[in-house]
Amino acid sequence: MIKGRNVLLKALEESHLKRIYDILMMDDIGSTFSTTYKEVTLSGLASFLYLTEPGTISKVFSIFSDNEIIGFVTLNNIHPIRHNAYIGIVGIDPKYQNGMYGVDALRTIIKYSFDTLNLHRLYGHTFSDNPKMHTLYKRGNWIHEGTEREYAFRNGEWVGREIWGILRDEKEK
């Protein structure tokens, strides 16, 4: 269990899966990270969240506030030699959005990644039409490292993908 200011991150348990699945399937959650999220089934959810490159591991956390699951965040591709990892997915139930839970969850996972896992670099990708996530990264001192133009075909049009990164020395003090 990792304690943030207003959230607790708990390692994913089987009893969390249904609630996380329901959040993933909500409008404007799954579509922000995947063009194929509707194909994910409840029984396939864990494999979807734990997806990882060969030679790396992933960690998945349920985001709790007041004993209730309000979202989830994944740390994928944790590389033991390169000391980097990928923020795969962060999603907050729309009922709780704009309450600074996203900022707090991201800050907490960054601190855990650098201070506990001794990682050196984190990176994340967001579709170009997600200004809120871009704000979240900027707010956390992440650097915009580039754009992959017309990365995916979604809802009948091409959408780009932004690459964000943060090094250990750049995290908020």
Ligand X SMILES: CC(C)(COP(=O)(O)OP(=O)(O)OC[C@H]1O[C@@H](n2cnc3c(N)ncnc32)[C@H](O)[C@@H]1OP(=O)(O)O)[C@@H](O)C(=O)NCCC(=O)NCCS
Give least dist CB 25 to ligand X, A.
12
In the set 17, 19, 32, 171, which binds ligand X (CB under 6 A)? 32
Give least dist CB 83 to ligand X, A.
22
Any contact of residue 5 with ligand X (CB under 6 A)? no
Which span sits near ligand X by CB under 6 A: 25-33, 41-49, 107-115, 148-156?
25-33
Show the tokens assigned to 55. Answer: 């030679």
The CB density around residue 127, as the number of other CB atoms within 10 Å, is 19
Any contact of residue 155 with ligand X (CB under 6 A)? no
Any contact of residue 75 with ligand X (CB under 6 A)? no
Any contact of residue 102 with ligand X (CB under 6 A)? yes
Q: Which helix (H) or strand (E) holds 154?
A: strand 143-154
Q: Which of 170, 101, 161, 111 is nearest to 138 (CA)?
A: 170
In the set 25, 57, 100, 163, which binds ligand X (CB under 6 A)? 100
In the set 47, 135, 147, 158, which binds ligand X (CB under 6 A)? 135
Which of helix, strand or coil describes residue 128?
Answer: coil
By beta carbon distance, the residue nearest ligand X is: 102
Spatial separation of the C-alpha atoms in residues 102 and 98, rounded to whole Å:
8
Q: Edge to edge, what strands does the sheet with 2-3 contain? A: 2-3, 8-11, 57-65, 68-78, 84-92, 121-127, 157-167, 143-154
- Residues of this chain that interact with ligand X (CB under 6 A) are 28-29, 32-33, 90-92, 97-103, 126, 130-133, 135-136, 139
